[in-house]
């Protein structure tokens, strides 16, 4: 499974730590930026790059970070097929994977330490979608909404 990651200046340090952790765990990681710290960069380009990559690579996932994770979540969810969720706790991450089949997790770089982030990332990567009928039905409705809104 490919893992695409991205962050702006406020999430950069956390992204770098997570990337190193994932590479040490022998995951396939593709860093879509920012690849160097720039204190005046903006999150939309990195969130869009990760969302587009995940949307174009079935079975892949994304990890994004910015100051509070809200901005990258908003941007990522503009891409058809993306179900980006705010990763604020292990339990929320578990349920968003099981119930909503989230394919991008967004972490608050200024509000979360590395140890908590790793727990959330591990939960995100290791929790499968439940496939329950009601959850599948919801995802089908989400796809209908996306299609209707693109007309």
**Per-residue pLDDT reduced to its tens digit, 98-150:** 999 999 999 999 999 999 999 999 999 999 999 999 999 999 999 999 999 88
- The mean per-residue pLDDT over the stretch 83-101 comes to 98
Angstrom distances, CA of residue 16 to CA of 22, 37, 81, 96, 101: 10, 10, 26, 24, 25
Q: Is the pLDDT of residue 151 over 90?
A: no
Q: For residues 72-96, give the mean pLDDT.
A: 97
pLDDT tens digits along 45-61: 999 999 999 999 999 99
Instruction: Output the pLDDT for position 150.
Output: 83
In whole angstroms, give the CA distance from residue 63 to residue 24: 16
Please check whether residue 21 is in contact with residue 50, taking contact to mean a CB–CB distance below 8 angstroms. Answer: no
Question: Residue 135 and residue 141: Cα distance in Å, rounded?
Answer: 10
Where do the domains of the chain lie, and which CATH numbers do they carry?
Answer: 2-149 (3.40.1400.10)
Burial of 76 (0-12, 13-18, 19+ CB in 10 A): buried
pLDDT at 44: 97
């Amino acid at each position: 499974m490919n893992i695409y990651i991205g962050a702006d200046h406020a999430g950069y340090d956390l992204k770098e730590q997570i990337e190193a952790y994932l590479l040490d765990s022998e995951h396939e990681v593709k860093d879509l930026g920012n690849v160097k710290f720039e204190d005046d960069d903006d999150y939309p380009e990195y969130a869009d790059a990760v969302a587009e990559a995940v949307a174009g690579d079935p079975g892949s996932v994304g990890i994004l970070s910015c100051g509070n994770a809200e901005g990258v979540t908003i941007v990522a969810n503009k891409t058809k097929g993306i179900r980006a969720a705010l990763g604020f706790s292990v339990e929320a991450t578990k349920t968003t994977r099981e119930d909503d089949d989230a394919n991008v997790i967004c972490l608050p770089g200024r509000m979360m330490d590395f140890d908590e982030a790793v727990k959330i990332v591990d939960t995100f990567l290791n929790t499968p979608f439940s496939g329950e009928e009601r959850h599948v039905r919801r995802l089908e409705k989400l796809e209908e909404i996306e299609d209707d809104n693109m007309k």
